[in-house]
């Protein structure tokens, strides 16, 4: 019987490609905000060093239930903490070494106040990695996009140091996805 991770290996590897430059060989406490069913959470887990904790947050109970089943079957030794929560009201996590937001910020119209609050959860030198479609016009699935230039500007506005684009991949859905990263002061 194949595991979820084996069935989703192609999607997980694409996610790893985006995350690898900012996550490889990191250890500590990380959070995946808006984790959905866990493709990017799985990529994060496979890139972090053993002993890392991952807090996976989503406001959709079904997504979190799927994530729990997926991880139980594929990564039974993972230190995964699934939390039913809306990341726009996030004040209860421990200080984090890293934050991942993959395809979640494009649902937020007023990004700056939300991102400013989220950045406060990072330890000094903690990393924020944002994955988004590299588009500037919204649609039904990506209502409030943030292209790479927008990310670089927003990251600096919320106090992240050295904002940069760390990876890009083609996307059959909207042309291109990028991963941007900034570091907490």
Residue-wise pLDDT for 167-185, tens only, equals: 999 999 999 999 999 999 9
Q: What does each C-alpha distance from 176 to 14, 40, 147, 154 come to in angstroms?
A: 12, 16, 10, 19
Q: What pLDDT does residue 137 have?
A: 94
Q: How far apart are CA 145 and CA 149, in angstroms?
A: 11
Give residue-wise pLDDT tens across range 1-47: 899 999 999 999 999 999 999 998 788 999 999 999 899 999 999 99
Q: Which residue has the tokens 């984790």?
A: 35
Instruction: Please give the CATH number for the structural domain made up of 4-183.
Output: 3.40.50.150
Report the alpha-carbon distance of residue 160 to residue 81 in Å, rounded: 26
Closest CA to 121 of 24, 12, 3, 31: 31
pLDDT in tens, 45-93: 999 998 899 999 999 999 999 999 999 999 998 989 999 999 998 668 9
Q: Could you tell me the residue ranges of all domains in the chain?
A: 4-183
- Check whether 146 has a pLDDT greater than 80: yes
Strand ranges of the sheet holding 53-58, from the earlier edge strand across to the other edge: 80-84, 53-58, 29-33, 96-102, 122-133, 175-183, 161-171
H or E stretch covering 45: helix 39-47
Q: Rg of the chain's alpha carbons, rounded to an integer? A: 15
Distance between CA atoms of residues 161 and 64, nearest Å? 32
* Paired strand residues for 102: 131
For residue 88, the model assigns a pLDDT of 93
């Amino acid at each position: 019987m194949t595991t979820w991770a084996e069935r989703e290996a192609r999607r997980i590897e694409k996610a790893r490609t985006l995350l690898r430059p900012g996550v490889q060989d990191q250890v500590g406490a990380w959070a995946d905000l808006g984790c959905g069913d866990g493709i990017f959470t799985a990529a994060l887990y496979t890139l972090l060093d053993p002993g890392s904790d991952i807090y996976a947050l989503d406001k959709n109970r079904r997504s979190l239930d799927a994530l729990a089943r997926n991880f139980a079957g594929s990564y039974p030794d993972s230190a995964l903490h699934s939390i039913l929560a809306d990341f726009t009201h996030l004040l209860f996590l421990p200080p984090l070494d890293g934050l991942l937001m993959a395809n979640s910020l494009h649902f937020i119209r007023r990004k700056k106040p939300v991102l400013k609050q989220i950045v406060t959860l990072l330890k000094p030198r903690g990393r924020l990695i944002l994955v988004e479609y590299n588009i500037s016009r919204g649609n039904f699935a990506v209502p409030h996009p943030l292209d790479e230039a927008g990310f670089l500007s927003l990251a600096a506005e919320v106090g992240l140091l050295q904002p940069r684009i760390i990876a890009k991949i083609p996307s059959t859905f909207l042309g291109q996805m990028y991963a941007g990263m900034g570091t907490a002061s």
